[in-house]
Structures are given as structure tokens and as C-alpha cells.
Amino acid sequence: MTVTQNILPWQKRHWDLLCSYIKQDRVPQALLITGTNGLGKHRLAKQFARSLLCTNRQDDGLCCGHCNSCHLIKADTHPDLKHIKPDEEKKTISINQIRQVVTDTYLKPQFEAYRVIIISPADVMTGQAANAFLKCLEEPTERTVFILITDKPNKLPATIISRCQKLSVTLPEKKILNEWLKEQGIHNNQETLINLVQGSILTTQQLSNNDLLKQRTDCFDDWVAIAKHTNHPAIISEKWQKLPETELLNWLISWVTDLIKYACLINPRQLCNQDMANSLQELAQRLDLKRLYGLYDRLLINRRLLGTQINSQIMIEEILVQWQQLNGRS
């Protein structure tokens, strides 16, 4: 597990709060970190875990990076740090996974410090798993800290939420964000990038670092080809299988949002996709607003289904069929 020691500028106050817990020796038994994707929730959780486990913590609350604990964490072999993730096939966190955790907590942590268990995303615990976890929270064990991470806290039982100390990571102010992006070497198109990733700030790095921006442009060309009936939904949906599905759906949503804005005669400067303005305007001229809203609703529903057992190729193909029908016969 690699963790950068720097605290993200928009997490400074969260970090100060976490450090104060350690200093005052009142570390909560359970911490719930919420906020949309791409704001660095995991990074914050891991930084806190490292500090809790470090035997030579620095004055600023950060771990030393050199002690035995720090080395074990770097090697991903610290016995007192566990990360509970969903089962790859079922995409849920099962009762057996939680039972294992509960069994572990019967034993003392192997080192002198804490035991940290990160559950992420916490909202995919099955009902049974959540119940078992709740029992575990009701019977606190010595020096054990649970860190629950989710971008969908409303999917967690209220009984669990009420037993956690809450920490909500939110989008930073524009000024802080722009400065940070510059530090990352992103000087151009900052606003377009942020709009594109819908606030997932850490994704902007990937966007500028790899060919995601190029993939998006290619994908848009395919989208236009479907509208013009020069390509087929089945062919494109197969081609798009290799694309990251969350990004793909976010792009589709942002294009449809911009088309709706055009149709409603909203100032084009407020578009998410400034670089595609001309093509979007051309498309918008022949589209029916009501049917665009229909497609938009479908996209939002489909985005919520990502990560479930839905067949994404069929899902994308159906979206493309609807998109082609919307564009009539040309």
C-alpha cells in the first residue's frame, strides 16, 4: 500500500481533527469517511492508519516512515492493519468476511499500538454482514479502530452511522483546487478537466497523465457516428468494453447534459465540454428536449447500477440504441 505523506490541501482540517484524536488519546472506535469519489478518502484513511500504527509519530501527526510498523505497512504485511474489500465476483462484503474480522478482534493487536480495520466501500456490506458488524460495534474491543469509507452513506444502516464519528470530505474551493492542479503540473484546461471528471479531483491527474482525454475524444466521435447512423450500437458497445465504465458513463451524461443546456438556450459558456461545443450544438439542433431528458434519466439510473452484476455491454448497447432512435433516421 503506497501512501504519499502529503496531506491534500482540502483535507487539512480533517487531518487536524484526526491528529487531535491521537494527541488527546480519544481515538474513536469507528470513523465514517464520506464524500464523492476522487477526493482522496482512502488516502486520508491510510494516512490515519499509518499514524495510528507508527511507533515514532512525528510532531505534525504524520508517521515516521522508518519504524518497524511503517516498514510493515509499506510491505503491506502489517498484522494490525486489515482492509476489507468486496468479493470480486459478488461485489459485496459478506457476513463471512465480517465474522473473520470479529474473530480477529477477540485477540489483542500484535503490536503495542492500535489495530486498524478499513472497510471500503462500507455500503456494499450485505444486510447480514452489516448486522454482524453492528454487534461488533456494540461490544467495543480494546485499541481497535474501524474506518468505514463510502460515497453512498445513505445505503448504510442508521444504526451503524450513529455509532461512527463522521468525517465528510467535500470539494475544495476553486482557488485551492487550481493551485493544487498547478502543483501537479496541470496548467491548462483546468476547468474543462474538473467538469469532465465531475469533481473527482484525483482523476484529473490520470486524465492529464494518460490517454484518457484521447479516449474521450474517440468515444465522442463514435457517439456522433451513432447519431448520424453511420455506425451501429452493437459494434460501438463492443468497442467500448475496454473503456473504464465509470468514466464512460460520466462522459455520456456530460454530453447529454450539454445537449439539454443547448436545447434550453443556456449560455454555451456554461457547458461542461467546451472543447466539443460546435459538434454538440450541431447535434442539439435536431433533438427533442423531452426525449433527451428520457435518455438523461436512463443514464443516471445506469450509473447507479455500475458495480452491480449488470452486464455493462448490454447496458451500453441499450443506451446507444435509445440515442440512435432519438436522432431519427438520417
- Tell me which residues touch Zn ion (CB under 5 A): 54, 56, 63-64, 67, 70
Residue 41: CB minimum distance to Zn ion, A: 22
In the complex, minimum distance from the CB of residue 57 to Zn ion, in angstroms, rounded to a whole number: 7
Task: Find the shortest distance in angstroms from Cβ 63 to Zn ion.
Answer: 5
Rounded distance, CA 128 to CA 183, Å?
Answer: 45
Considering beta carbons, is residue 62 or 292 the nearer one to Zn ion?
62
| Cβ nearer to Zn ion, comparing 62 with 125 | 62
Q: Is the dihedral of CA 283, 286, 289, 295 positive or negative?
A: negative
Give me 83's grid cell.
Answer: 482492509
Shortest Å, Cβ 66 to Zn ion: 6
CB of 81 to Zn ion, least distance (A): 13
How is residue 48 written as a grid cell?
A: 490515519
Distance CA 144, CA 30 (A): 9
For residues 37 and 50, give the distance between their C-alpha atoms in angstroms, rounded to a whole number: 22
End-to-end CA distance of the chain: 53
* Minimal distance, residue 143 CB to Zn ion, in Å: 17
Q: Least distance to Zn ion from the beta carbon of 33, Å? A: 22
What is d(CA 198, CA 215) in angstroms, rounded to the nearest whole number? 17
Query: How far is residue 257 from each of residues 271, 280, 293, measured CA to CA in Å?
Result: 8, 10, 9
Q: Which is closer to Zn ion, CB of 114 or CB of 240?
A: 114
Sign of the torsion formed by the C-alpha atoms of 222, 328, 273 and 205: negative
Q: Closest CB to Zn ion among 63 and 295?
A: 63
CA distance 44 to 3: 9
Provide the 8-state DSSP code for 8: P
- The residue among 21 and 133 lying less far from Zn ion, judged by its C-beta, is 21
Quote the least distance from Cβ 60 to Zn ion, whole Å.
13
Q: At residue 217, what are phi and psi to the nearest 5 degrees?
A: -65, -45
Grid cell digits, residue 10 = 482540502
Whichever of 50 and 216 has its CB closer to Zn ion, that residue is 50
Q: Which is nearer to Zn ion, 70 or 95 (CB)?
A: 70
Q: Which is nearer to Zn ion, 61 or 233 (CB)?
A: 61
56 vs 82: CA distance, rounded Å = 21
Grid cell 463522521 is found at: 166
**Local structure of 186: helix, strand or coil:** coil
